[in-house]
Amino acid sequence: MKKISIIESKDNVGKEVTIGAWVANKRSSGKIAFLQLRDGSAFFQGIVVKSEVGEEVFQLAKGLNQETSILITGTIQEDSRSKFGYEIVVKNLEVIGESHDYPITPKEHGTEFLMDHRHLWLRSTRQHAIMQIRNEIILATYKFFNQEGFIKIDPPILTANAAEDSTELFHTEYFDEEAFLSQSGQLYMEAAAMAFGKVFSFGPTFRAEKSKTRRHLIEFWMMEPEMAFMDHEQSLEVQEKYIAYIIQSVLDNCDHSLGVLGRDREVLENYTKLPFPRIFYDDAIVLLNKNGFDEIKWGDDFGSPHETFIAEQFDKPVFILNYPKAIKAFYMKPHPDRDDVVLCADLIAPEGYGEIIGGSEREVDFEALTERIEEFGLTQEDYAWYLDLRKYGSVPHSGFGLGLERAVTWICGTEHIRESIPFPRLLNRIYP
């Protein structure tokens, strides 16, 4: 007997096959039982007709509890009433693993309950759709950067120095030394760019941020390209091209998942049209002040209501350029004509999703960078290797970081970032 997964139904119409699956739901009458089946590849229906299978198999099917795992044998046929388009007419079934009192029933559950049962919640259609889209974005990221001539370089996760805000580090022991979990691979990616030209990384990063918002995770995945001989303007072009590419990939390959999530394709299609608008930080402050945000003044960082307001002025993601030097990281290059702002941009997603990319041109001058490191209360010795990059053939270079889960949340149109990663680490949660 040919063993297939549900997604392969379309190539097996009329054939007798075996499928390993779980019972997501079930309804039955005296003569026929409908099993909602899932196997991870897709969801579809199994039909068990009493007069075809006999009393014993029929009673077995009728008695199946939610999430029982089974092996079914039957014939695939087209099913025009379902969106998936196929179903299986069951001949025989065998229980593999029983399931009693499955905690997540088809009724509504509260968020905390679902989060406590995240290990089971992942089995639902909605979580399935989100993870499919997450996977598509990861796949598209690898494709895009490889096509563009980048090479993937993996920075370390255990590090000896801070890349971003040193107050948000997770401390750990490295034998007799103090070490941290990586907040960003950037500094290592700069070294890699000097070795390989165009590089990107994709890995977990950690921030001990005491933020409890719908946009913050403690552990999240970041994609960080770094490009030698590239100024910031060229980096913005890579960024918008990359965003359009991942959205197009999701539109092309995740139609079913977008449907499950009720995400409007037309809204997403608009985000593939380039270029994205740009606004200077200075002008964004003026815009906010003119529109009732009186409290914010030049030099302040934006809060999420500010970012949302700015984003609402455009129908696509918007770059906010050249922030004040004092509120950005030590490695950013100051503007050539004025010393109070740096050559950087945050890309703000529409629809209230906030910052999805942070990027900048890097300071390449040895003296200037040494000064910045000291201004930030960091030590030259700790950053000696990083400063070396400015001693041996220093070149202009730029890079950026995309938060994978922010992108997934936005593209899926989901309310909270917690659903965008299989096992979210939040301020008050490390279980399960």
Which residues of this protein are in contact with ligand 4AD, per CB under 6 A? 163-164, 184, 186, 207, 209, 216-217, 220, 222, 224, 355-360, 399-403, 405-406
Nearer to ligand 4AD, 334 or 359 (CB): 359
124 HSE (CA, 13 A, CB side): 22
* CB atoms inside a 10 Å sphere around CB 3: 11
Q: Rule CB under 5 A: is residue 399 a binding residue for Mg ion?
A: no
Binder of residue 240, out of Mg ion, ligand 4AD, none (CB less than 5 to 8 A by kind): none
Q: Choose between 276 and 400: whose C-beta lies nearer to ligand 4AD.
A: 400
126 within 8 A of 262, measured Cβ to Cβ? no
User: Which of Mg ion, ligand 4AD, none binds 207 (CB below 5-8 Å, type-dependent)?
Assistant: ligand 4AD
Q: By CB neighbour count within 10 A (0-12 exposed, 13-18 middle, 19+ buried), where does 428 fall?
A: exposed
* Residue 357 binding result from ligand 4AD, Mg ion, none, given CB thresholds of 5 to 8 Å by partner type: ligand 4AD
Write down the least CB distance from residue 326 to Mg ion, Å: 15
What is the closest distance, in whole angstroms, from the C-beta atom of residue 359 to ligand 4AD in the complex?
5
- Is there binding between residue 225 and Mg ion (CB under 5 A)? no
Strands 198-206 vs 43-49: parallel, antiparallel or unpaired: unpaired
Q: What, of ligand 4AD, Mg ion, none, does residue 359 touch, CB below 5 to 8 Å by kind?
A: ligand 4AD
User: Which residues contact residue 65 at a Cβ distance below 8 angstroms, ignoring those fewer than 6 apart?
Assistant: 23, 98, 99, 100, 102
Nearer to ligand 4AD, 21 or 357 (CB): 357
Distance CA 313, CA 291 (A): 11
Residue (66 or 186) nearer to ligand 4AD, CB? 186
Q: Quick one: which H or E segment has residue 43?
A: strand 43-49
Residue 426 burial (CB < 10 Å; 0-12/13-18/19+)? middle
The single-letter DSSP state of residue 417 is G
Work out whether 358 is an interface residue with Mg ion (CB under 5 A): yes
Residue 416 contacts residue 214 (beta carbons within 8 Å)? yes
- Shortest reach from residue 182's CB to ligand 4AD, in Å: 10
Question: Quick one: what does residue 362 bind among Mg ion, ligand 4AD, none, with the CB cut-off 5 to 8 Å set by partner type?
Answer: none
Q: Which residue type sits at 170? A: F
Q: Least distance in Å: CB of 277 to ligand 4AD?
A: 18
Q: 13: which strand partners? A: 76
Q: Which C-beta is closer to Mg ion: that of 165 or that of 264? A: 165
- What is the closest distance, in whole angstroms, from the C-beta atom of residue 400 to ligand 4AD in the complex? 5
Contact residues for Mg ion (CB under 5 A)?
Answer: 358
